[in-house]
Structure 1
Amino acid sequence: MIVDTDAKNEADDQFAIVHALLSPSLDIRGLVPAHFGNRRTRQSLEESRAEIDLLLRLLKLDDLEPLADKWRAFGWEAVEVDGHDHLALLEALTTPCEASRPRCLIARTVKGRGVSFMEDRAE
C-alpha cells in the first residue's frame, strides 16, 4: 500500500500513519505527502513532507540505505546511476529490463549541484 497523506493537517493523520506503519496486516511501501486544506501551496506540501519525516525519525524508520537492496528484496531489478550523468541515465533508461521483473532506477543527485551557493543545501 502507498499512503497519500496531508500529514500536517490534523492530529489524526499522524495517528493513522503510525498505525499503518506498525500494523502487521498492512504492507506499506511508501508515504506520499499531499497538500492540505484549501491552501494548495508549496509550503503545505513541504509541511506534510516534514511531518512524515518526523514520524519516520521518531519510529526509527528513516534509514533508507541501502536503498537498492530494499528494492531487490521486493523482487525488483535495482539500477543505481549518477543522476547528474546524462549518458548514464540514458543508458539505464534504454537498457531492457530483466525478464518478468520491474526496474527501479535510483538516480543519485546532489541538490543544487553546480551552483555554489545552493549546492547540497536543504533550505
Structure 2
Amino acid sequence: MELHYKIIGVLLIMLSFIHLTFPKFFNWEQELKSLSLINRQIMRIHTFFIALLLLLMGILCLTSSSDLINTPLGKRIALGLGIFWFIRLLFQFFGYSSRLWRGKSFETAMHIFFSLLWIYFSLVFIGTGVS
C-alpha cells in the first residue's frame, strides 16, 4: 500500500505543477477579460491555492505514507482525502458538461484519464481509511 501512496504523491505533485500552466493553456489573458477584476483575481488565486494544496497532499503522501496507513489519525486523514477525491470524481461527470469532451479525441482522452485517476485516488485513500 505504501507504494500506492508514493505513486499518488508523485502524481499529485505533477498535477500541482500542471496547474501553473492553466493561464497560458486556457488563454486566460483573453478569456477572462470580460470578467470583473475580482472574478479574474479569484480564478488566479484559487488556482494557485489548488496547486498548493495538491503539492502539499503529494508531499504528505511521499513523506508520511506509513503514518497515513498505520495510525488512527492517518486513517482519518486518508478517509477525508478519499472522500475529497470521490466528490471530485462525481464532479468529473456531473459538474462538467459532456459537450466539453464528447466527440473530441484529446478532450475525451483527458476526461477518461482524469476519471481513472480520481477513481484510483479514491480507492486507495478510502481503502486505507476504512480498514
TM-score normalised according to structure 2 size: 0.25
Larger fraction in strand: 1
Larger helix percent: 2
Max radius of gyration: which structure? 1
Q: Could you state the TM-score of these two structures normalised by the residue count of structure 1? A: 0.26
Larger relative contact order (C-alpha < 8 A, sep ≥ 6)? Answer: 2
